[in-house]
Amino acid sequence: MFIYTRPAYQFCQVVLQGYLDEQFYQLEELQDESSPNFVEEVVTLFFRDSSRLVANIDQALQKYPQDFRRLDNFMHQLKGSASSIGAAKMKNECTSFREFCNKENREGCLRSFQKVKKEHAVLKQKLENYFQ
């Protein structure tokens, strides 16, 4: 799919597809001459945080599969980051994961986490295009 290169409407496509919501526009609005790379900086921080958290959750699911509190704690942070950047689909998957945690449903967590990772990967790809 095609990403427009015009900065002001660059993200129309991806927002319309539901990957990002209005929060992303908010980030664009905060970018100006005094902070010309703001969006890129925030996105970079997001992927730094989220990659770390995804790895933590992966490890926790292997090593501490019954520690739902730990899993929920990591996912709470991941969901928060996703929310701050406007990553709507990913945020929804994070919410599902937390619901499974709440019910202490390990299988549900594992399935849900695959979806979180998938949304994360798709988002990464789309945002890489944005900054080219």
Partner 1 sequence: MAVVAEAQFHVLAVDDSLMDRKLIERLLKTSSFQVTAVDSGSRALEVLGLSEGLTSSSAVSPAHNEIEVNLVITDYCMPGMTGYDLLKKIKGSSSLKDIPVVIMSSENVPSRINRCLEGGAEEFFLKPVQLSDMKRLRPHILKGKSKEQQPQEEETSSTSISSNKRKAMDEELSPERRRLKLSNYSLI
Contact 27, 39 (CB under 8 A): yes
CB contact at 8 A, 113 and 97: yes
Q: Using the rule CB under 8 A, is 67 a contact of partner 1? A: no
Structure tokens at 1: 């799919």
Among the candidate windows 1-9, 15-23, 114-122, 124-132, which touches partner 1 by CB under 8 A? Answer: 15-23
Buried b (16+ CB within 10 A) or exposed e, 56-92: bbeebbeeeeeebebbbbbbebbbebbbbbbbbbbbb
Tell me the window of 5-13, 24-32, 106-114, 121-129 that interacts with partner 1 (CB under 8 A): 24-32
18 scored as a contact of partner 1 (CB under 8 A): yes
Asked if 26 touches partner 1 (CB under 8 A), the answer is yes
Question: 20 phi and psi, to 5 degrees?
Answer: -125, 150
Find the shortest distance in angstroms from Cβ 114 to partner 1: 20
Residue 1 engages partner 1 in binding (rule: CB under 8 A): no
- Contact 64/42 with Cβ under 8 angstroms? no
Under the binding rule (CB under 8 A), the answer on residue 36 touching partner 1 is no
> What are the residues binding partner 1 (CB under 8 A)?
18, 21-23, 26-27, 29-30, 32, 34-35, 38, 41-42, 45-46, 49, 76-77, 79-81, 83-86, 88-89, 91-92
